[in-house]
Amino acid sequence: MAQTNGRLAGKVAIITGAAKGLGEADARMFVREGARVILTDVDRENGERVASEIGEMAEFRYLDVRHDAEWKALVDDVVARHGKLDILVNNAGVVELGDIETQTEKDYRFIMAVSADGTWFGCQHAVRVMKENNGGSGGGSIINMASIASVQGESAVAAYCAAKGAVEGLTRAVAVHCARQGYDIRCNSIHPAGILTPMVIEVGRQAALMRDPETVSGGPLVKLGEPDDIAYTVVFLASDESKFINGAAIRVDDARSVIAGNP
Ligand SMILES: NC(=O)c1ccc[n+]([C@@H]2O[C@H](COP(=O)([O-])OP(=O)(O)OC[C@H]3O[C@@H](n4cnc5c(N)ncnc54)[C@H](O)[C@@H]3O)[C@@H](O)[C@H]2O)c1
């Protein structure tokens, strides 16, 4: 286990989509930094396995982020059992290949429901309880997982771009609202490029099957990042080290979105 610095000591966190990929890496790093973590996912088998591997500071709870009632029950239960919620990572997301001419309405609605609706419900319930933290003066950090897809517009995943654009805009609205209300709740979005996770492996496989040379990670020869490349940024935004960062959209993409605009 890597050395811990206790940067999240005493904090209670919910991470969605934590059964694998980026959410799993976040959960492992959060506990190393001293947080109590509630891993949530629709993949019960992997979620329970990861939580039990992490140990007593982690627990798994089933949560389909598309359903408001499930969010309410989960958040209320976490506050009842652990006294508070300090951190929410809205990480769950799905992608299906399709451009504006080929993507089906079914895929569009599915992708929007998980990323856009799920992040919406998560923000609503997190703000509801985080504003009661610290004896009513409020406090907390919400981290929303967007993508460089919302920055550069990746034509092969049109609905995914729409969903991540919704996440990015909502992040700013939540940040401004909480700042104006004096809640001391921060809300920031992270915009990764291709990171080696089950999602990217599956999309790469589908793209190859469709003989499409352009993948969501920007082409077949791009360098992929590791899940911990994102987790380090999530931990920073979750910790008090980032207390003056609010409403930011942080690209973690090895200059991918910047290179795209260069001659
Ligand atoms: N991996 C990348 O390169 C990359 C790049 C940009 C953004 N992202 C975003 O980061 C997040 C994590 O991506 P990943 O690569 O780890 O994906 P992944 O597919 O490897 O893992 C996503 C997890 O979300 C869960 N999930 C799916 N639908 C859900 C639902 N309705 N409710 C709860 N959980 C659900 C899945 O079961 C899975 O465990 C996603 O929002 C993704 O869009 C990833």
Quick one: pLDDT at residue 203?
A: 87
- Whether 1 maps to a domain, the answer reads no
Q: What average pLDDT does the structure give for the chain? A: 93
Number of domains into which the chain is organized: 1
- Whether 7 maps to a domain, the answer reads no
- Whether 261 maps to a domain, the answer reads no
Answer for the pair 225, 74: CB distance below 8 angstroms, yes or no: no
- Report CA(223)–ligand 1 centroid distance (Å): 19
Tell whether ligand 1 has an atom less than 6 A from the beta carbon of residue 21.
yes
152-165 pLDDT, tens digit per residue, is 999 999 999 999 99
* CATH (domain of 205): 3.40.50.720
- Whether 189 maps to a domain, the answer reads yes
Quick one: pLDDT at residue 222?
A: 67
- Report CA(134)–ligand 1 centroid distance (Å): 32
- Report CA(182)–ligand 1 centroid distance (Å): 32
Tell whether ligand 1 has an atom less than 6 A from the beta carbon of residue 19.
yes
Answer for the pair 44, 60: CB distance below 8 angstroms, yes or no: yes
- Whether 2 maps to a domain, the answer reads no
167-222 pLDDT, tens digit per residue, is 999 999 999 999 999 999 999 999 999 999 999 888 888 877 665 545 544 444 46
- Whether 52 maps to a domain, the answer reads yes
Assess whether 183 carries a catalytic annotation.
Answer: no
Domain that holds residue 72: 12-255
- Whether 62 maps to a domain, the answer reads yes
Pick the closest to residue 130 from 74, 186, 171, 208 (CA basis).
186
Separation in Å, CA 191 to CA 99, 241, 253: 20, 20, 7
Quick one: pLDDT at residue 216?
A: 47
The more confident residue out of 93 and 203 is 93
Quick one: pLDDT at residue 223?
A: 81
Tell whether ligand 1 has an atom less than 6 A from the beta carbon of residue 22.
yes
Pocket probe mutation, ligand 1, options 28, 157, 189, 199, max atoms within 8 Å of Cβ: 199
35-56 pLDDT, tens digit per residue, is 999 999 999 999 999 999 999 9
Q: What is the mean pLDDT of residues 60-84?
A: 98
- Whether 3 maps to a domain, the answer reads no
